[in-house]
Amino acid sequence: MRAFVAAGHNVTGLNRSVVDLLDSRATEKYVARIKPEVIIDAAARVGGIAANSAYPVDFLSDNLKIQENLLNAAHLASVEKFVFLGSSCIYPRDSVQPIKEEYLMSGPLESTNSAYAMAKIAGIELVNSYRKQYKKKWISLMPTNIYGPGDNFNLAVSHVLPALIRRFIEATECKSGKVTLWGTGNPLREFLHVDDLARAIVLTAEKYDSNLHLNIGTGKDLTIKELAERVAIATGFEGKIEWDPSKPDGTPRKVLDVSRIQSLGWAPTITLDQGIASTIAWYKEANARGEVRK
């Protein structure tokens, strides 16, 4: 929302307190009433490995409903541009790296989040079906792991970076000498600050029109162990980091080929260390005000 306002657009924010996107009729009525020119679909049921593994029915069913209801409402209201946000987990578990857009459905998915991934793959196909049948100029973007201000820090459903930030801050505050983390720490991941993603969305909403979904990321990765060490330093944690290899690691490596989005003139501007520091600062301030989702 900040990025689109800065670009001169009139923006309407939407969350479940305004309309429940699982309710098809309510979604249709809302979109018909506000008549937007552009819809950015960032709505989803999301979570880390534990949540995805424990609730695959919810992750598949809810995400299918959310995207179908919103796309149908957009069609009925003749919305000119629709930007569907998916996830890099749509790609095969053992994909060739870095991952090009063309590698979609070239191998089996990672089992710990396959339900969520299948829902997002279905979303890409539905967007392209609207393009084919109704000549829509709708697009799909596949971001890598996103983090930053406003993230979800609920340890039961959060992704790895906000979970690490909260774990290390709380361990530092209570002077704990040890933090135990899931897995081996060996998987490789890339991370993109939400503000960089927002700039990419503004750009592609204006300039991109293709049935090929578009990767959004940094093209640079690091191990989860290296990430944990960076967060520990940034939060001032001086204790010991231990790993629990009995817990799943997920996909061994996942780094995106971002040459297509870069060819449009976009590149990330916020380094990982800058982003971690600013997110920690935001978390502490928001937590003091009781505004953190946890």
Q: Which residues are catalytic?
A: 116
Give 100's DSSP letter.
P
Question: Cα separation of 286 and 294, whole Å?
Answer: 11
Please name the amino acid found at residue 115.
Answer: A
Which residues face 85 on adjacent strands?
Answer: 141
CB proximity list for 269: less than 8 A, separation 6 or greater? 196, 199
Specify whether the CB–CB gap between 208 and 140 falls below 8 A: no
State both tokens at 65: 């409903």
Instruction: Report the chain's C-alpha Rg in angstroms.
Output: 19
> SS3 for 265?
coil
Listed residue (204, 192, 229) closest to 87, CA to CA: 192
Cis bond upstream, residue 98 (ω within 30):
yes
Tell me how crowded residue 277 is: count the other CB atoms within 10 A of its CB.
15
Specify whether the CB–CB gap between 204 and 270 falls below 8 A: no
Question: Cα separation of 274 and 192, whole Å?
Answer: 11
CB proximity list for 287: less than 8 A, separation 6 or greater? 294
